[in-house]
């Protein structure tokens, strides 16, 4: 369930991008910041968004706090507002007490123990937003250390941050958008085939939390593979607040929708694989993957046929992950049915060897000496 704003006139958005820095600042430029703020403003106030373009303001390259707080204050003073949204893209700096400060064009990275000067402490943004009578208040922060906004500093505000308290938000130097804003825009543009009619904040977060860490990021030595995992802070039921219409709604059983769901399942599968940081997969995420693959296998079988290449891959992955989630008997039964169907079609079907290896593995897990839920070697799980 999502809650759409009842009319565009009841929604206000302020989007800020700081990408250029001037003396005395030594901060590196982020040309993607202003591009991202403008692109997101256009998406949220376009045909699919819940905002009216007349009530959507983009502030590029603010030189002082007044250029941000003045338009925000005017929005705060409006009456009968459903939704007030603040977005920032640029450098995130740490001030006194490790509070998050948003960089302005002349901001310096170092503040001598205090706040970087000049800069905009997020606490000032949050305090002003809390003065609004808006039913829902949302802040989206695409900057380094944005996780510092979570908690007391962002009390009463739904927060979506590009990274945690100690992480840096990344952007490809050759790209036109940052990793976080770029993926957020892609979701708003392409939609979620098996998602709701409207794209709510939690639906966006759930998608970002899987796609960002499985998207190759600049190799800085900090995040050698993917972008940071985003974070979300909800206020009561604020995760249901919709920002836009889902353009892919009800396409989950089309060939394109099936492929999109398959890509998402593969990304989720990557996150369940053991790693030095997470030697044991999150049981909830593993269960989510099994449920997703079960639905996808059913739909692919009905739409494309049970022995279509895509259907075979999904059915085998569903069986394998079912076993990994602790159900070896069900995994063996699913793989046995698939192997029988493949043999009936062709004794030398190219998918048969891999299916038989997986079947042998989970059959062994059913023996007295087996260990249910054991992880498979890569060659046993590959499609």
Which tokens sit at 34?
């202003």
Cα separation, 113 vs 98, in Å, equals 10
* Of the candidate ranges 116-130, 215-229, 290-304, 320-334, the one whose mean pLDDT is the lowest: 215-229
Q: What is the pLDDT, as a whole number, of residue 218?
A: 73
- Find the mean pLDDT for residues 323-328: 94
- Find the mean pLDDT for residues 58-82: 97
* Of the candidate ranges 61-65, 84-88, 142-146, 280-284, the one whose mean pLDDT is the lowest: 280-284
- Which own/partner contact pairs does 349-353 have at CB distance under 8 Å and 24+ positions apart? 351/309, 351/312, 351/313, 351/316
- Find the mean pLDDT for residues 272-288: 81
Residues in the chain: 383
Which tokens sit at 98?
């490790």
**pTM attached to this predicted model:** 0.91
Closest to 331 in 3D by CA, of 346, 343, 315: 315
Closest to 86 in 3D by CA, of 31, 44, 28: 44
Report residue 176's pLDDT band, with 50, 70 and 90 as the boundaries. very high
Residue % of the chain over a pLDDT of 90: 78
Domain segments of the chain as ranges: 8-245, 255-381
Q: What is the pLDDT, as a whole number, of residue 25?
A: 86
- Find the mean pLDDT for residues 8-17: 90
Which tokens sit at 127?
């305090």
Q: Is the pLDDT of residue 190 over 70?
A: yes
Q: What is the pLDDT, as a whole number, of residue 379?
A: 38
Closest to 33 in 3D by CA, of 144, 193, 186: 144
Which tokens sit at 46?
């376009």
- Find the mean pLDDT for residues 290-300: 98
Q: What is the pLDDT, as a whole number, of residue 374?
A: 45
More confident residue, 295 or 367: 295
The dihedrals phi and psi of 61, each to the nearest 5 degrees, come to 50, 60
Cα separation, 269 vs 318, in Å, equals 10
**Which CATH class for the 8-245 domain?**
alpha beta
* Alpha helices by DSSP H, 236-351: 255-272, 283-304, 309-324, 328-345
**Contact by Cβ (8 Å): 199, 2:** yes
Closest to 34 in 3D by CA, of 75, 6, 62: 62
- Find the mean pLDDT for residues 149-159: 95
Closest to 27 in 3D by CA, of 132, 107, 130: 107
Q: What is the pLDDT, as a whole number, of residue 47?
A: 93
- Find the mean pLDDT for residues 311-320: 98
* Of the candidate ranges 107-111, 239-243, 261-265, 294-298, the one whose mean pLDDT is the lowest: 107-111
Q: What is the pLDDT, as a whole number, of residue 96?
A: 86
The residue whose two tokens read 């943004």 is 125
More confident residue, 381 or 164: 164
- Find the mean pLDDT for residues 72-97: 95
Report residue 115's pLDDT band, with 50, 70 and 90 as the boundaries. confident
**Contact by Cβ (8 Å): 240, 205:** no
Mean pLDDT of the chain: 90
More confident residue, 23 or 349: 349
Report residue 131's pLDDT band, with 50, 70 and 90 as the boundaries. very high
* Of the candidate ranges 244-248, 257-261, 278-282, 375-379, the one whose mean pLDDT is the lowest: 375-379
**Contact by Cβ (8 Å): 230, 147:** no
**Contact by Cβ (8 Å): 145, 92:** yes
Report the SS3 class of residue 14: strand
Beta carbons within 8 Å of 104's beta carbon, 6+ residues apart: 18, 62, 63, 64, 65, 118, 119, 120
**Contact by Cβ (8 Å): 281, 274:** yes
Closest to 104 in 3D by CA, of 147, 145, 61: 61
Q: Is the pLDDT of residue 383 over 50?
A: no
Q: What is the pLDDT, as a whole number, of residue 112?
A: 58
């Amino acid at each position: 369930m999502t809650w759409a704003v009842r009319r565009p006139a009841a929604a206000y958005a302020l989007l800020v991008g700081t990408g250029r820095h001037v003396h005395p600042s030594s901060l590196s430029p982020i040309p993607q910041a202003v591009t991202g703020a403008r692109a997101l403003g256009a998406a949220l106030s376009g045909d699919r968004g819940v905002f009216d373009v007349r009530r959507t303001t983009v502030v590029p390259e603010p030189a002082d706090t007044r250029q941000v707080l003045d338009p925000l204050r005017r929005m705060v003073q409006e009456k009968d507002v459903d939704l007030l949204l603040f977005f920032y893209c640029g450098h995130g700096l740490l001030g006194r007490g490790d509070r998050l400060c948003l960089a302005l064009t002349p901001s310096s990275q170092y503040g001598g123990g205090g706040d970087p000067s000049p800069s905009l402490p997020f606490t000032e943004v949050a305090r002003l937003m809390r003065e609004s009578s808006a039913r829902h208040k949302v802040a989206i922060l695409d900057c380094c250390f944005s996780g510092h906004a979570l908690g007391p500093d962002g009390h009463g505000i739904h927060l979506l941050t590009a990274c945690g308290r100690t992480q840096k938000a990344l952007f490809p130097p050759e790209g036109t958008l940052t990793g976080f804003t770029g993926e957020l825009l892609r979701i708003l543009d392409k939609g979620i085939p098996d998602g709701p009619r409207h794209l709510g904040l939690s639906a966006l977060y759930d998608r970002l939390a899987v796609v960002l860490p499985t998207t190759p990021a600049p190799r800085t030595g900090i995040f050698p593979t993917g972008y940071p995992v985003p974070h979300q802070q909800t206020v009561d039921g604020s995760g249901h607040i919709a920002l836009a219409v889902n353009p892919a709604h009800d396409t989950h059983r089309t060939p394109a929708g099936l492929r999109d769901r398959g890509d998402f399942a593969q990304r989720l599968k990557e996150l369940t694989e053991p790693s030095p940081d997470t030697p044991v997969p999150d049981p909830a995420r593993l269960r989510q993957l099994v449920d997703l693959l079960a639905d996808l296998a059913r739909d692919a079988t009905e739409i494309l046929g049970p022995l279509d290449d895509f259907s075979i891959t999904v059915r085998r992955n569903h069986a394998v992950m079912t076993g990994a989630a602790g159900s070896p008997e069900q995994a063996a039964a699913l793989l046995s049915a698939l192997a029988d169907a493949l043999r009936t079609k062709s004794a030398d079907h190219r998918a048969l060897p891999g299916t038989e290896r997986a079947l042998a593995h989970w059959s062994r897990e059913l023996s007295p000496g087996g260990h249910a839920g054991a992880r498979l070697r890569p060659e046993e799980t590959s499609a």
